């Protein structure tokens, strides 16, 4: 049992627990991924078939890391022979070694995100659901575009009723297992054309559009999965027997749909291992329910609970600050992070005159760190609200510092989405959104009137020349579909670019056009990781990855830059040096615009958010705030965040040496 030697006593306790419910309360940086992966390896060593093990987490990045660690451990089992390698979504390729004597090459643990789990279950039971196997997944951009178009159809002012807010409500309601019909009944109780009535009307047409296009959105991947498992005992029995040992990471972030799906899957065998940290519950605004983890031992009275408190990430000083902040919360299980790491530097605190001075302070400090040999990728700038990034970006540009703003996703670039739309439309002819997107890209001289007639089935009314153009377009989709079964994914992307005319359109264009073509070529490169799969499956995986990608996925592309992101986006990440900016009352902790008095739950979540920000740092933490800040065009005078006063003075050092003043230009009149 050599694999246990690097674990602490609490980690060993969780790894050696085999049957029955297990709750692991894992503090930040306590090695929870290592603990889960070693537990999975131990189960296999004890004779559990790998294919009977399910592990679910929230981000593609976390799933990828966990999957790779599990497979690296499985290589160490005796009797391994050259066989297979498992890729991004449990796909199999060359060069991996499995102990053939213990299990077949296709028997591997299923490690994925909740949404990828939903995709698998829905595809395997598409006939039961009345959905084609090649259904289209609406990403957030697709959904938002649909909502905007529906508001226009209904002649509703999108300024008065913001599309993103409407979509957010629909998303949250679906996560709570509400259907459009349920919401319609609830909305009917409201008088006048209220927000609820608008949401109901939009949602009804939104569902109609999804149905017409044989599409599902993000939230449907969970909602449909839950309803399928709830409805069919036969299907539920199959998955209960398939996955007899279930691991759920970040359990504190589960919403109702996720909670109910796992409850159904675990009901028969009750071998559920829930891993989470109450102190890192920061997503209530999107439906995460902290009660799910608080009530775990009520749901499973026979559960064993283990608390992981030893931190392997941060210095003693950083942990002392974090412990002091979070202990003021009441909705939690008491724990106290400790570490054997060095004491470390004090936390630097800087009071700026305004946001420009604060941004310049951060940029100058970063410049000095880089000059001292710190890799830019080991530095992150965190802020509570997205608007704060602008002035920090300007300061970085002034000093010519490399940075990457988290949130610019590769798959959201127009040219990448266009190329993928050809693929999606070829596989799902009912996906009118994809057809509309590419039928005139590159330009084919097909306008809105032509498109309307095509979609209405009135092609006979079109002039002969226009009919021929439409026929050529659909002929191209037929060619693409035929080649799905004869070309590898990377080859198929190149085929689309060439046959569609995209390559000709962009390569002779402007510098921006050439950059777009390079991005499409990058898509072909990215698709190569699925080339080893059987024809058709690799294309499905590429389309799935594009739809389910998250902001954090973009981090892997550009590693040589300082990262800028919201605190919410930083969850699950770690950096040597962390800057937390904007520590002012009503900004962090945040006060919603037009909001009244904060509830205890809201206040405690803001404190948990600050705790998450602090615990991203490994070596050094910088805090800053501005006495005045311009927000939405108005100058505001600020008081320091209450969080600053909650930090013991012995752990702080105030920055006094930095001084920056904006240039004042005098003009003769």
State the catalytic residue, choosing from 33, 240, 254, 419.
33
- Cα gap 593→467, rounded to integer Å: 53
Strands 575-580 and 379-383: parallel
- Cα gap 309→27, rounded to integer Å: 6
**Which residues in 446-476 are b (16+ Cβ under 10 Å) and which e?**
beeebbebbeeeeeeebeeebeebbeebbeb
For the question of residue 413 being annotated catalytic, the response is: no
- Cα gap 643→646, rounded to integer Å: 5
Q: From the CA atom positions of the chain, what is the Rg in Å?
A: 27
> Which uninterrupted H or E stretch holds 219?
none
Q: Three-class SS of residue 426?
A: helix
For the question of residue 630 being annotated catalytic, the response is: no
State the catalytic residue, choosing from 12, 335, 607, 616.
616
Phi/psi class of residue 632: alpha, beta or left (left: φ > 0; alpha: ψ in -120 to 50)? Answer: left
Identify any residues that bridge with 637 across adjacent strands, giving them in sequence order.
628
The label of the residue with tokens 């040219």 reads 415
For the question of residue 65 being annotated catalytic, the response is: no
C-beta of residue 474 within 8 angstroms of C-beta of residue 400 = no
State the catalytic residue, choosing from 201, 219, 220, 249.
249
Token representation of residue 108: 């591997």
C-beta of residue 481 within 8 angstroms of C-beta of residue 427 = yes
User: What is the rounded end-to-end Cα distance, in angstroms, of the chain?
Assistant: 83
For the question of residue 120 being annotated catalytic, the response is: no
From the list 230, 229, 212, 210, the residue with the least C-alpha distance to 220 is 210
**Cα dist from 146 to 142, 176, 182, 472, whole Å:** 6, 22, 21, 27
Say which DSSP state 384 is in: S
CA within 13 Å, CB half, 499: 20
CA dihedral 533, 539, 543, 549 (to 10 degrees): 30
Angle, CA of 40, 43 and 44, to the nearest 5°: 90
From the list 35, 192, 141, the residue with the least C-alpha distance to 418 is 141
The CA-based diameter of the chain, rounded to the nearest angstrom, is 89
- Cα gap 125→596, rounded to integer Å: 47
State the catalytic residue, choosing from 10, 12, 32, 620.
32
For the question of residue 450 being annotated catalytic, the response is: no
| Cβ atoms < 10 Å from Cβ of 659 | 9
Angle, CA of 149, 150 and 155, to the nearest 5°: 100
C-beta of residue 132 within 8 angstroms of C-beta of residue 77 = no
For the question of residue 33 being annotated catalytic, the response is: yes
State the catalytic residue, choosing from 280, 550, 552, 615.
280
- Cα gap 166→190, rounded to integer Å: 16
Identify any residues that bridge with 352 across adjacent strands, giving them in sequence order.
626
> Which uninterrupted H or E stretch holds 286?
none
Active site residues: 32-33, 249-250, 280, 616
């Amino acid at each position: 049992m050599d694999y246990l030697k690097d674990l602490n006593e609490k980690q060993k306790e969780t790894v050696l627990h085999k049957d029955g419910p297990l709750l692991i309360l894992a503090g930040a940086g306590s090695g929870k991924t290592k603990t889960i992966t070693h537990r999975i390896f131990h189960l296999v060593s004890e004779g559990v078939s790998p294919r009977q093990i399910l592990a679910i987490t929230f981000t593609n990045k976390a799933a990828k890391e966990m999957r790779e660690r599990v497979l690296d451990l499985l290589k160490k089992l005796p009797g391994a022979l050259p066989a297979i390698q498992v890729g991004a979504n449990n796909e199999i390729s060359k060069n991996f070694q499995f102990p053939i004597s213990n299990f077949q090459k296709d028997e591997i643990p299923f490690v994925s995100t909740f949404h990828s789990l939903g995709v698998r279950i829905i595809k395997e039971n598409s006939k039961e659901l009345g959905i084609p196997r090649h259904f289209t997944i609406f990403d957030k951009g697709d959904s938002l575009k649909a909502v905007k178009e529906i508001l226009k159809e209904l002649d509703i002012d999108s300024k008065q009723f913001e599309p993103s807010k409407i979509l957010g409500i629909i998303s949250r309601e679906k996560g709570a297992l509400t259907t459009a019909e349920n919401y319609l009944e609830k909305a009917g109780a409201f008088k006048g054309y209220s927000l609820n009535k608008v949401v109901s009307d939009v949602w009804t047409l939104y569902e109609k559009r999804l149905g017409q296009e044989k599409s599902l959105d993000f939230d449907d991947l969970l909602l449909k999965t839950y309803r399928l498992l709830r409805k069919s005992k036969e299907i539920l029995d199959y998955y209960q027997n398939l996955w007899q040992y279930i691991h759920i990471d970040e359990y504190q972030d589960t919403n109702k749909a996720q909670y109910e799906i796992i409850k159904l899957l675990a009901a028969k065998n009750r071998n559920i291992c829930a891993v989470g940290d109450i102190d890192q519950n920061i997503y209530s605004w999107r439906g995460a329910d902290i009660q799910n983890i608080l009530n775990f031992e009520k749901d499973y009275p026979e559960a064993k609970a283990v608390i992981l408190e030893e931190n392997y990430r941060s210095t003693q000083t950083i942990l002392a600050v974090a412990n002091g902040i979070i202990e003021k919360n009441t909705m939690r299980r008491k724990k106290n992070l400790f570490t054997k790491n060095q004491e470390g530097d004090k936390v630097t605190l800087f009071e700026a005159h305004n946001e420009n001075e604060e941004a310049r302070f951060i940029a100058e400090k970063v410049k000095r760190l880089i000059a001292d040999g710190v890799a830019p990728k080991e530095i992150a700038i965190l802020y509570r609200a997205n608007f704060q990034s602008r002035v920090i970006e300007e300061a970085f540009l002034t000093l010519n510092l490399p940075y990457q703003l988290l949130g610019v996703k590769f798959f959201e670039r127009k040219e990448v989405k266009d190329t993928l739309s050809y693929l999606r439309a070829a596989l799902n002819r009912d996906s009118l959104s994809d057809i509309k997107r590419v039928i005139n890209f590159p330009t084919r001289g097909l306008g809105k009137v032509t498109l309307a007639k095509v979609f209405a089935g009135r092609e006979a009314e079109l002039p002969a020349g226009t009919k021929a153009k439409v026929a050529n377009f659909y002929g191209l989709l037929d060619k693409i579909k035929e080649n799905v079964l004869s070309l590898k994914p990377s080859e198929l992307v190149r085929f689309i670019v060439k046959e569609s005319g995209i390559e000709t359109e962009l390569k002779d264009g402007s510098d921006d056009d050439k950059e777009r073509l390079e991005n499409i070529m990058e898509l072909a490169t990215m698709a190569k990781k699925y080339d080893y799969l059987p024809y058709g499956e690799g294309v499905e995986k590429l389309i799935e990855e594009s739809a389910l990608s998250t902001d954090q996925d973009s981090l892997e592309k550009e590693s040589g830059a300082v990262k800028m992101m919201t605190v919410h986006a930083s969850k699950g990440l770690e950096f040597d040096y962390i800057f937390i900016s904007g520590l002012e009352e009503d900004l962090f902790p945040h006060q919603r615009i037009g909001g009244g008095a904060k509830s205890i739950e809201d206040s405690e979540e803001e404190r948990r958010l600050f705790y998450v920000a602090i615990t991203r740092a490994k070596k050094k933490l910088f805090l800053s705030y501005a006495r005045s800040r311009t927000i939405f065009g108005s100058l505001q005078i600020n008081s320091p965040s209450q969080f600053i006063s909650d930090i013991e003075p012995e752990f702080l050092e105030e920055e006094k040496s930095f001084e920056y003043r904006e240039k004042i230009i005098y003009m003769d009149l």
